[in-house]
Chain A
């Protein structure tokens, strides 16, 4: 995959998260994955079309998902990943992907995003590509969020 396409995802995460009440995230690790990832507990997938094709998955464990939902709901305690929490996490993913799309447009590439699909199920496998892709691990106030970036420019 094109390394240039990774930065729009990282930049979006770093710029959007503080705007919705989170500490400034740090990029902690980048690693190559092949075809599939394992769901840490809660993951959100969005698809890209037009000149960029592929999927991104925001992958986190349940604790992180609760932390994110709670922070987005102004500190309201979140005991389980219920409808409200799912809605908050989907909304965050939507904002991240939309901001990423804006960043990609700045590279003069046309892009469109689908709606988010949130999956709850620790240990389930998610195949998001037919080849290798890069996953960026972000630290969000001590919580870990993986961004699996399986997108490519359309030839």
Chain B
């Protein structure tokens, strides 16, 4: 998914910085920041951002006036009002000026990202929100984790997983996710991959089955823990936690998680595919 280009209009440098920080770790790219209405219009015309966040109080006009000017130039401009005050009259005036959404300061990261995602696509599904905001955090964690643990670069693919269950021949480490969103992550690999992975991770050829299982379990704990930290880093108000790992090994095992929206992340490495399936109790 390409980055969504955003312009922030706010007269307060602090507010602009906070918002830009919120967005920097996500799929949004802040391409412009304006401190007043004149600058906002000029930058909009130059850079044509996909979304504008608009403060109400600007030195040379109010946010509604500024929005009208932008919409006068581009009738399809998508504008979100972010103001300290939000009441029915402001919303009514704002709607008349073509503002799409209204948020109140201080904005909650989750709200702003979901609002911007909703605006950035004609019809964005909850799945897209989960994918961009949450599954992607695990994608980074998987790649970094594999590099740190066994020193290998990997190519990761991320896709929505719509099969009813995961088929396991080898090992699967299940780690529950609590907080928001609640769910679970499963890291799994074949017996052969698991052996080679553990040997490299432990730095010896001489490993028994227990050590192999423990190595994969610890690796999963590190990778999934890092994924959750990536999420908590962005969504400071939604404290996600991980439960201790449960490890399943054997052949012909099926693991299902009814009602979860799940994503499959496949890391292709020299020792074989390391697969993470992460699911959230949200979505359609």
Interface string of B121-138 (1 = CB under 8 A from A): 000000000000000000
Q: Is the CB of B176 within 8 A of A113?
A: yes
B263 CB, nearest partner CB in chain A, Å:
14
Question: Which of B175, B241, B253, B260 sits near A121, CB closer than 8 Å?
Answer: B253
Question: Which of A54, A91, A112, A119 sits near B241, CB closer than 8 Å?
Answer: A112
Interface string of A44-75 (1 = CB under 8 A from B): 01111110011101000000000000000000
Q: How far is the CA of A66 from the CA of B193 in the complex (A)?
A: 35
Query: Which interface class (under 10, 10 to 19, 20 to 34, 35 or more) fits B?
Result: 35 or more
For residue B93, CB closer than 8 A to chain A, the reply is no
Interface string of A83-125 (1 = CB under 8 A from B): 1001100110000000000000000000011111111110111
User: Which residues of B167-217 have CB atoms within 8 Å of chain A's CB atoms?
Assistant: 168, 174-179, 182-184, 186, 213, 217
Q: Is the CB of B250 within 8 A of A124?
A: yes
The 5 A-B residue pairs with the shortest CB-CB distance in the complex, in nearest-first order: A114-B176, A47-B243, A47-B176, A124-B250, A121-B253
For residue B43, CB closer than 8 A to chain A, the reply is no
| Interface residue ranges, A against B (CB under 8 Å) | 39, 45-50, 53-55, 57, 83, 86-87, 90-91, 112-121, 123-129
Q: How far is the CA of A55 from the CA of B174 in the complex (A)?
A: 10
Q: How far is the CA of A116 from the CA of B177 in the complex (A)?
A: 10
Q: Of all chain A residues, which has the CB nearest B179? A: A112
For residue B92, CB closer than 8 A to chain A, the reply is no
B250 CB, nearest partner CB in chain A, Å:
3
| Chain B contact residues: helix, strand, loop or mixed | strand
Q: Is the CB of A49 within 8 A of B176?
A: yes
B161 CB, nearest partner CB in chain A, Å:
14
| Interface residue ranges, B against A (CB under 8 Å) | 164-165, 168, 174-179, 182-184, 186, 213, 217, 241-244, 246-260, 279, 281
Residues of A within 8 Å of B217, CB to CB, are 127
A127 CB, nearest partner CB in chain B, Å:
4
Residues of B within 8 Å of A54, CB to CB, are 243-244
User: Apart from A47-B242, A119-B255, what 6 extra A-B contacts exist at CB < 8 Å?
Assistant: A49-B241, A83-B258, A86-B256, A113-B176, A117-B246, A120-B165
Q: How far is the CA of A121 from the CA of B248 in the complex (A)?
A: 10
Residues of B within 8 Å of A57, CB to CB, are 246
Residues of B within 8 Å of A117, CB to CB, are 174, 176, 184, 186, 246, 255-257
Q: Is the CB of B243 within 8 A of A124?
A: no
Q: Of all chain A residues, which has the CB nearest B183? A: A115
Q: Is the CB of A120 within 8 A of B254?
A: yes
Q: Is the CB of B250 within 8 A of A115?
A: no
Q: Of all chain B residues, which has the CB nearest A117? A: B174
Q: Of all chain A residues, which has the CB nearest B255? A: A119
Residues of B within 8 Å of A128, CB to CB, are 246-247
Residues of B within 8 Å of A125, CB to CB, are 248-250
Q: Is the CB of B178 within 8 A of A49?
A: yes
Can you list 22 A-B pairs, Cβ within 8 angstroms, ordered by A? A45-B246, A47-B174, A47-B243, A48-B176, A50-B178, A50-B241, A55-B244, A55-B246, A83-B256, A86-B165, A90-B256, A90-B259, A91-B258, A114-B182, A115-B183, A117-B246, A117-B255, A119-B248, A119-B253, A119-B254, A120-B253, A127-B217
